Structure 1
Amino acid sequence: MPKITIRPAGEGDIPAVVALYRQLDQALVDLQPEFFCVAPRGDEFVRQAVKAADADYLLAEEDGAVVGFALVNYAGWTPEFSCVLPHRYACLADLVVDEAHRQQGIGSTLLGAAKRWARDRRLEYLELSVLSQNAPAIALYESHDFVEATRVMRCML
C-alpha cells in the first residue's frame, strides 16, 4: 500500500484541488443530471477556504502528488430553538479521491484526518451531506460511524 501523507493546503495547491473538483462535478452530473452540470470552477472559492481560519483543505499526497482532499470547516452552533440541544460542530463539505487512486484507503485516511481536525477544535460532531445515489460514499461514511440524521426529500413540480 502506498504511503499517504495528509497536510493542509496552501495557495500553491489550488490547481490540484480545482482539478479534483472537476472529477467531483462529473460524479454529481452522473448521479443527478437533472440538478448538476459540469461548469468551469474558479480558484476563488478554494482560495477563500485555504486562507480561512475556520476551514482547511486536508490534502492526501502520494509521492508529492495530491490524490485527494477533504474540505472541513467549523459550522458553528446548532440552531437556537428551544427544543434543540446546543452543539458546536464541523462540516465535511467535500471529500474527493482521484479516480485512479480509489479503493486504496485514501478516503478513510481523509475521514480520519477530518475527524481529528474537528476533535482538535473541541467540536462535538462532524456532519456531511451525500447524494442518496452515491452508494460507495455512503458505505465509506457508514464504515466510519456516520449515521443518517436527517433526510432531504424533493418533489419535482
Structure 2
Amino acid sequence: MRNLDRTARSAATLVLGGIAVLGLSACGSKEAPRADLAAAQVTSIGVNSYLWRAALETVGFAPLLQADSAGGVIVTDWYANPQNPGERVKMTVTILDSDLRADALRVAASRQVNQGGNWVDAPVQAATVQKLEAIILTKARDLRRQAVAS
C-alpha cells in the first residue's frame, strides 16, 4: 500500500511537472504571436495609440490648442459651426490608461452662445459628451481590427 502511494505521488509529480514545462515552453518564444501586434494595450506614445488616433480624428474638425501624446491630453480651441455661428464649443479629451477600454477615455466639452456680442457659457447636454466618447471608442476599435487583419 505504501509503495502504491509513493508511486502515485511520483506519477502525479511527473505529470504536473510535464504540464508546467509545456506551459512555460510557450512563454519562451522570442516572437510574439501576430495578434499581440495589435493588442488592446499599445503604448509606444505613452497612451493607447488606437484611442489617441481615434480621438485626434474625431475632434480634428476643431483647431487644436494642445496635443500631448505622453500625457494623453487633447485640447481644442473654440469651434463655431459655420451653419450656427452664434454657438461655439471647446473640447478636452483625456486618455487615462494604456488599455483600449471605455473607462480609459474621458471627454469634457464647454459650450458658449453669443448674446448681444458677448460669449456666455451654456450647458452641454450629457448625451453630446457620451456620443463623442462612443465615436472615439468605435473608431479606436476599428483601427485595432484593421491592425489585426493586416
Per the TM superposition, whether the score is higher than 0.5 is no
TM-score w.r.t. the length of structure 2 is 0.31
TM-score w.r.t. the length of structure 1 is 0.30
